[in-house]
């Protein structure tokens, strides 16, 4: 329902920024920090309305930081993010986020968690939903993720996969323009992961107004199963990107046998290995540099 743009976005950790603060020079800008200390380096991105984008890369490549900036949890050091025509300023109810850990509140029953999200969205967006309506929507979305029976269970009574189902139900039930996912299936076993990937693709497709989705993962197959477009990140840069032109829904058993999948997977793996090598190069260079000095 909304496009998303990143314009020359850079980011450095606060500790790093503090190092460049002096008494005279209190506001640090991107230009003050050497490029190798930036976590995100001048990123430009356009995500179309209704597009499913996957960010893939090694741990530490900056993909989660990118997502946190899009979620409004962190402020970019330079550049800006736009949603539609609005510049982004902190968290907002035009986005909902699914995290990997503690994706739902452990002291609320499954349904209460979903209702909480709907109520927050309703308040912020002035939808003025009644209590009964909120409960109805919660039931509807719990049914969509096959969790009707678990509505009155606490998260500790649910498996990791079931907890993520509830988290997905909450994110979708909030009916926001953009969906953000930070490795939501990263802690699940392969079988549960496949189930949830299928479920998510189905839910995303069945939505009459397809939502813009940005999904961070380090799982190559997962990215290929879900994405319209994949961006490979390395060292705080968008290194490479390509589209995945395959019909949906993508049944893993069929899709994994297609040439589209095989080629793209081989290419992604190559990118991973190449990124690994440059990482080695960098540390080697640093070691030599230290020895010389």
Partner 1 sequence: MPRKIKTHLVISHVLLMALLGIIFLMPNTRTNVSPVTGEIIAICCIEFFYLLALFLGHRKDPMPEGSSDIILIVWLIFIAWELVGPKLGIAHNVLVPSPENVFNVFVEHADELFMNVLSSLQLLLTGYILGTILGVILGIICGWVPRLRAIFYPIANVFAPIPSVVFTPFLVIIMPTYRWAAIMVILIGVFWPQFLSMILRVGSLPPAIVDNTRVLMVNTPTMIMKVIIPYIIPDLLKGLRVSLTTGFLMLMYAESFGAKSGIGYWISNANVFANYANIYAGIITCGMTVTVLNYLSGWLQKRFTTWR
> Residue 120 interacts with partner 1 (CB under 8 A)?
yes
Q: Which is nearer to partner 1, 61 or 179 (CB)?
A: 179
Smallest gap from Cβ 131 to partner 1, in A, equals: 15
> Residue 13 interacts with partner 1 (CB under 8 A)?
no
- Characterize the bridge pairing of strands 95-98 and 178-182: parallel
Q: CA–CA separation, 10 vs 123, rounded Å? A: 32
Smallest gap from Cβ 178 to partner 1, in A, equals: 11
Of the ranges 77-85, 104-112, 135-143, 270-278, which one interacts with partner 1 (CB under 8 A)?
A: 104-112
Smallest gap from Cβ 14 to partner 1, in A, equals: 14
Smallest gap from Cβ 93 to partner 1, in A, equals: 6
Q: CA–CA separation, 113 vs 163, rounded Å? A: 10
> Residue 163 interacts with partner 1 (CB under 8 A)?
no
> Residue 155 interacts with partner 1 (CB under 8 A)?
yes
Continuous H helices in the chain? 14-19, 63-71, 110-124, 131-144, 160-173, 190-206, 220-226, 252-255, 259-292
Q: What is the DSSP letter of 73?
A: S
User: For the chain, how big is the Rg over CA atoms in Å?
Assistant: 20
> Residue 211 interacts with partner 1 (CB under 8 A)?
no
Within 8 A by CB and 6+ apart from 111, the residues are: 135, 138, 139, 142, 151, 152
Of the ranges 4-12, 106-114, 224-232, 281-289, which one interacts with partner 1 (CB under 8 A)?
A: 106-114
Q: Which is nearer to partner 1, 151 or 275 (CB)?
A: 151
């Amino acid at each position: 329902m909304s496009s998303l743009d990143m314009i020359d976005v850079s980011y450095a950790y606060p500790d790093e920024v503090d190092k460049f603060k002096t008494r005279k020079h209190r506001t640090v800008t991107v230009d003050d920090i050497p490029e190798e200390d930036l976590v995100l380096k001048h990123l430009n991105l356009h995500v179309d309305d209704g597009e499913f984008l996957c960010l893939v890369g090694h741990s530490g490549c900056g993909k989660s930081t990118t997502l946190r900036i899009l979620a409004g949890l962190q402020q970019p050091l330079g550049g800006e993010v736009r949603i539609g025509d609005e510049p982004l300023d902190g968290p907002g109810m035009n986005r909902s986020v699914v995290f990997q850990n503690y994706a739902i509140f452990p002291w609320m029953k499954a349904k209460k968690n979903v209702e909480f999200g709907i109520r927050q969205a309703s308040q912020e967006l002035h939808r003025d939903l009644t209590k009964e309506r909120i409960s109805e929507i919660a039931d509807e979305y719990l049914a969509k993720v096959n969790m009707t029976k678990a509505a009155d269970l606490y998260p500790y009574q649910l498996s990791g996969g079931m907890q993520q189902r509830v988290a997905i139900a909450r994110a979708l039930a909030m009916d926001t323009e953009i969906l953000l996912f930070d490795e939501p299936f990263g802690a699940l076993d392969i079988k549960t992961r496949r189930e949830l990937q299928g479920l998510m693709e189905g839910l995303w497709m069945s939505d009459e107004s397809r939502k813009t989705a940005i999904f961070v993962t380090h799982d190559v197959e997962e990215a290929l199963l879900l994405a319209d477009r994949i961006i490979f990140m390395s060292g705080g840069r968008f290194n490479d990107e390509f589209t995945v032109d395959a019909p949906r829904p993508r049944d893993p058993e069929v899709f994994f046998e297609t040439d589209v999948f095989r080629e793209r997977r081989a290419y992604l793996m190559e990118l991973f290995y190449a990124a690994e090598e440059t990482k080695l190069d960098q540390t080697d260079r640093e070691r030599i540099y230290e020895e010389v000095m």
